[in-house]
């Protein structure tokens, strides 16, 4: 399944948005967290600044998000992980409300009650969870609902290679295969489950091989490349949409930042990130676009300007939005 | 078609499956998932007869994968369905707790109220038949402790039907606990007071409204589920000794009808909270505290008395189990004690 020119350009621009968003977040996140703004004696304070709490960034992992989401419609469901920004952006979650949520503001997706790991957008049918392996069961449920409603909607569960060792992974694959549900299970293999390398936690090299245990197709994408993900993702989404059941995809991808911002990454071999960045999927896609005559200097500059603008506007919206009133803490436990 | 206005006597299990069946007829988005809920009709018969009426697309036997199907209920509810998921025994919550309390119970809140999750999770609770520590707990207080779930604990067939109807129609997650020893099963002894007249027509019993199961003036006994049946029997025993006990059936823990408890204790001046769940940090302490917080207006005649499962797992052997779970005799004794002690 070859991407059209329009799909290639969408993937390229969306990857740019994700990268810009994450790089800005990496800087914004540090605001107010370093001396001399924090308690004396601390080197870093996780609870300070405009974006408090944990922060897991997805720079480098753009291909898996855009390559799969390029095939999705608004009615399709995506369930993401604790590292969710790239999936949310690729699914079309509005950047302003998402950023406001991460800033804990009243204008956020969840009125400031969820934060960066808990982004819910019912309109664009996106959600995520801070619990490893928790994305799979709700995606199975969304697919079940689609079938019950007589729709050809598809549900995608993204999860990390660490999550493939959770019980929910196996329970969900079995249930989706048994009921032949329109789910695409997409494993992001960024090699690291926080600090533990995949080889130290997973008995087999490719999680895609685990598909054979459930009698469904399993494909591993060996390259952190949007077009390659697009091709494999397209087949899986089409298969689900036609009613032929679930698929499992594992994509080799690269995490440029730490597990969380502030992670000293003592476990990571020196120079690994620099090495990974030499295979940055964004310039690679730009080269592909240029070779096909779909992108020139002027076009690229125009895309970058648009990307800068939407990301800047999102952060400005978040910063200028009010915090919720403290009385709102007691609201929305129930509807 | 003639209006069905009749009333029959039903067991609690029959009342629950009738409620589910009527709501499924009314609303095509309602369906049931769980282990052995199809041909078997539910291990405790809560879905008896429903497979034949609605077929396997709506009465769905699942693999033994509680995380997957309870999580799937959350996912399907977010898409507009109204799933009912049965957790066979509440004791099995350990294998799926993350999907229950980190997702089903919290996603509405974390979405700022923008995600609706009309899921009914139903489960079997309680001991009394020697099934030991992994199949005999009540645990409703564990789930009432954590925000985000409505907690329903019926004591009889009439309430069971009306509360199930309310649970299915509620736009929030509801955890519905039925006690095995009041379901009226042909293979397990049960308290006959739980088998009651039930109207054929659907009706809703609202949440957060306690029921006065028996009126009295000397002692207030607060209970839920099977313990309400024990309390009524204990009150009849105590009446022979001249003690007039009022039995309050809370019916739901979340929301909790604190006012009905306060009103009754204000009248009697004596409170016994009897519970089959664990004593420590649980329902009995919560009810005692709500009265304690109102002592500015409530005048107690005797210190509050609590009965529950003390800090032990439920033992297997019959005499051990009967000594651990409060029995009718324990309640009578506690009422006597309340009548013979006074506050300082």
The distance of B101 to chain A (nearest Cα, Å) reads: 12
Q: ipTM of the assembly?
A: 0.95
CB-nearest to B114 from A79, A122, A172 is A122
Q: pLDDT-derived band of residue B119, with 50, 70 and 90 as boundaries?
A: very high
With contacts defined as CB-CB under 8 Å, which chain B residues touch A129? 102-103
Q: Is the pLDDT of residue B3 over 70?
A: no
The predicted pLDDT at position B344 comes to 87
Bridge partners (DSSP) of residue B220 are: B246, B271
**Which listed residue (B23, B35, B66, B321) is catalytic?**
B66
Task: Tell me the C-alpha distance between A211 and B76, whole Å.
Answer: 24
B135 in catalytic set? yes
Helices H / strands E in chain A, number of each: 11, 8
Using a CB-CB cut-off of 8 Å, the residues of chain B touching A77 are: 75, 79
Q: Please tell me if residue B57 touches chain A, with a CB cutoff of 8 Å.
A: yes
Query: What pLDDT shows up at residue B1?
Result: 42
Strands A126-128, A77-80: pairing kind? parallel
Contact A118 B115 (CB under 8 A): no
User: Tens digit of pLDDT for each residue in B54-100?
Assistant: 999 999 999 999 999 999 999 999 999 999 999 999 999 999 999 99
Is B107's Cβ below 8 Å from some Cβ in A? yes
DSSP summary character for residue A128: E
**CATH number for the domain harbouring residue A14:** 3.40.50.970
CB of B80 within 8 Å of any CB in chain A?
A: yes
Contact A114 B110 (CB under 8 A): yes
Exposure on the CB side of residue A250, measured as CA atoms within 13 A: 22
What b/e string do you get for B166-184 counting C-beta neighbours within 10 Å, with b at 16 or more?
bbbbbebbbbbbbbbbbbb
How many angstroms separate the CA atoms of A9 and A15, rounded? Answer: 10
pLDDT of residue B2: 47
Are A120 and B115 inside 8 Å of each other by CB? yes
Domain contains A330 = no
A327: which chain B residues are within 8 Å (Cβ-Cβ)? none
Q: How many CB atoms lie within 10 A of CB B120?
A: 27
Q: Is residue A236 part of a domain?
A: yes
Number of residue pairs across A and B with CB atoms under 8 Å? 149
Q: Assign a CATH topology to domain B8-199.
A: Rossmann fold (3.40.50)
Q: What is the mean pLDDT of residues B316-331?
A: 98
CA dist., res. A128 & res. A141, Å (int): 14
Contact flag A137-B68 (C-beta cutoff 8 Å): yes
Cβ-defined contact of A114 to B111 (cutoff 8 Å): yes
Question: Is residue A186 domain-resident?
Answer: yes
- Average of per-residue pLDDT across B301-330: 98
**Cβ–Cβ of A149/B71 closer than 8 Å?**
no
What tokens appear for B331 in the block?
């309640």
Average pLDDT (B295-316) is 97
Contact B112 A174 (CB under 8 A): no
Domain boundaries, chain B: 8-199, 211-340
The 3-state DSSP composition of chain B as helix, strand, coil percent (nearest 5) reads 40, 20, 40
Contact (Cβ atoms closer than 8 angstroms) between residue B150 and residue B176: no
Per-residue pLDDT of chain A (335 residues; tens, 9 = 90+): 899 999 999 999 999 999 999 999 999 999 999 999 999 999 999 999 999 999 999 999 999 999 999 999 999 999 999 999 999 999 999 999 999 999 999 999 999 999 999 999 999 999 999 999 999 999 999 999 999 999 999 999 999 999 999 999 999 999 999 999 999 999 999 999 999 999 999 999 999 999 999 999 999 999 999 999 999 999 999 999 999 999 999 999 999 999 999 888 999 999 999 999 999 999 999 999 999 999 999 999 999 999 999 999 999 999 999 999 999 999 999 99
- Residue A107's domain spans which residues? 5-319
A333: Cβ contacts below 8 Å, ≥ 6 apart: B108, B109, B147, B148
Q: What is the pLDDT of residue B211?
A: 98
- CATH number corresponding to B211-340: 3.40.50.920
Mutate to test the interface with A, among B57, B61, B112 (most CBs of A within 10 A): B112
pLDDT at residue A1 in the model: 82
pLDDT for the residue A317: 98
Give the pairing type, strands A183-189 and A247-252. parallel
Tokens of A113: 């009650």
* Residue B4 pLDDT level (bands cut at 50, 70, 90): low
Instruction: Enumerate the residues of chain B whose CB falls inside 8 A of the CB of residue A331.
Output: 113
Omega into A36 within 30° of 0, i.e. cis? Answer: yes
Does the residue A325 lie in any domain?
Answer: no
Domain count, chain A: 1
Q: CA triplet B228, B233, B235: central angle to 5 degrees?
A: 90
């Amino acid at each position: 399944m070859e991407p059209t020119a329009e799909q290639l350009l969408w993937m390229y621009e969306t990857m740019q948005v994700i990268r810009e968003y994450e790089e800005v977040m990496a800087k914004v996140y540090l605001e107010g967290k370093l001396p001399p703004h924090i308690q004396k004696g601390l080197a870093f304070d996780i609870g300070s600044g405009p974006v408090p709490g944990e922060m897991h960034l997805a720079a480098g992992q753009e291909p898996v998000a855009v390559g799969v989401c390029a095939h999705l419609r608004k009615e399709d469901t995506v369930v993401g992980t604790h590292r969710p920004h790239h999936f949310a952006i690729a699914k079309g979650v509005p950047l302003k409300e998402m950023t406001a949520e991460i800033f804990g503001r009243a204008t956020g997706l969840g009125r400031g009650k969820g934060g960066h790991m808990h982004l819910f957008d019912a309109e664009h049918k996106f959600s995520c969870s801070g619990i490893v392996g928790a994305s799979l069961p709700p995606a199975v449920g969304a697919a079940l609902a689609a079938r019950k409603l007589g729709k050809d909607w598809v549900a995608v569960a993204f999860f990390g290679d660490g999550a493939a060792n959770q019980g929910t992974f196996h329970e969900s694959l079995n249930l989706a295969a048994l009921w032949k549900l329109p789910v695409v299970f997409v494993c992001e293999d960024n090699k690291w489950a926080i600090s533990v390398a995949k080889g130290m936690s997973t008995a087999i090299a490719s999680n895609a091989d685990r598909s054979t245990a459930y009698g469904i197709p399993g494909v591993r994408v060996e390259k952190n490349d949007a077009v390659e993900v697009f091709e494999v993702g397209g087949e899986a989404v089409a298969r689900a949409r036609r009613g032929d059941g679930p698929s499992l995809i594992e994509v080799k991808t690269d995490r440029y930042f730490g597990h969380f911002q502030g992670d000293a990454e003592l476990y990571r071999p020196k120079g690994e990130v620099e090495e990974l960045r030499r295979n940055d999927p964004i310039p690679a896609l730009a080269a592909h676009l240029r070779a096909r005559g779909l992108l020139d200097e002027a076009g690229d500059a125009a895309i970058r300007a648009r990307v800068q603008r939407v990301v800047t506007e999102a952060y400005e919206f978040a910063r200028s939005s009010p915090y919720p009133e403290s009385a709102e803490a007691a609201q929305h436990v129930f509807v | 078609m003639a209006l069905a206005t009749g009333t029959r006597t039903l067991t609690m299990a029959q009342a629950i499956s009738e409620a589910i069946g009527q709501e499924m007829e009314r609303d095509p988005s309602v369906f049931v998932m769980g282990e052995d809920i199809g041909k078997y009709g539910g291990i405790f018969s809560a879905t008896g007869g429903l497979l034949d009426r609605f077929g396997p697309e709506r009465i769905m036997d699942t693999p033994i994968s509680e995380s997957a199907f309870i999580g799937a209920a959350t996912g399907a509810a977010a898409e507009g369905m109204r799933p009912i998921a049965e957790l066979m025994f509440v004791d099995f919550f350990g294998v799926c707790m993350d999907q229950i309390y980190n997702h089903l119970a919290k996603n509405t809140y974390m979405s700022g109220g923008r995600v609706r999750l009309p899921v009914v999770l139903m489960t079997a609770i309680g001991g009394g038949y020697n099934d030991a520590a992994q199949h005999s707990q009540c645990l409703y207080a564990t789930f009432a402790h954590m925000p985000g779930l409505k907690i329903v604990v019926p004591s009889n067939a009439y309430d069971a039907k009306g509360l199930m109807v309310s649970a299915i129609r509620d736009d929030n997650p509801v955890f519905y606990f039925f006690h095995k020893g009041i379901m009226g099963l042909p293979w397990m002894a049960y308290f006959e007071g739980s088998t009651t007249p039930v109207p054929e027509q659907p009706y809703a019993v609202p949440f957060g409204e306690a029921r006065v199961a028996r009126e009295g003036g000397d002692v207030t006994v607060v209970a839920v589920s099977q313990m309400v049946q024990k309390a009524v029997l204990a009150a009849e025993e105590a009446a022979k000794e001249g003690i007039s006990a009022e039995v309050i059936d809370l019916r739901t823990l979340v929301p909790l009808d604190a006012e009905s408890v306060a009103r009754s204790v204000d009248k009697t001046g004596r409170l016994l909270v009897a519970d089959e769940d664990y004593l420590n940090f649980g329902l009995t302490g919560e009810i005692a505290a709500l009265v304690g917080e109102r002592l500015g207006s409530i005048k107690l005649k005797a210190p509050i008395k609590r009965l529950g499962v003390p800090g032990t797992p439920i033992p297997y052997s019959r005499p051990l189990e009967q000594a651990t779970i409060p029995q009718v005799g324990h309640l009578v004794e506690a009422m006597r004690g309340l009548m013979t002690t006074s506050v300082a």
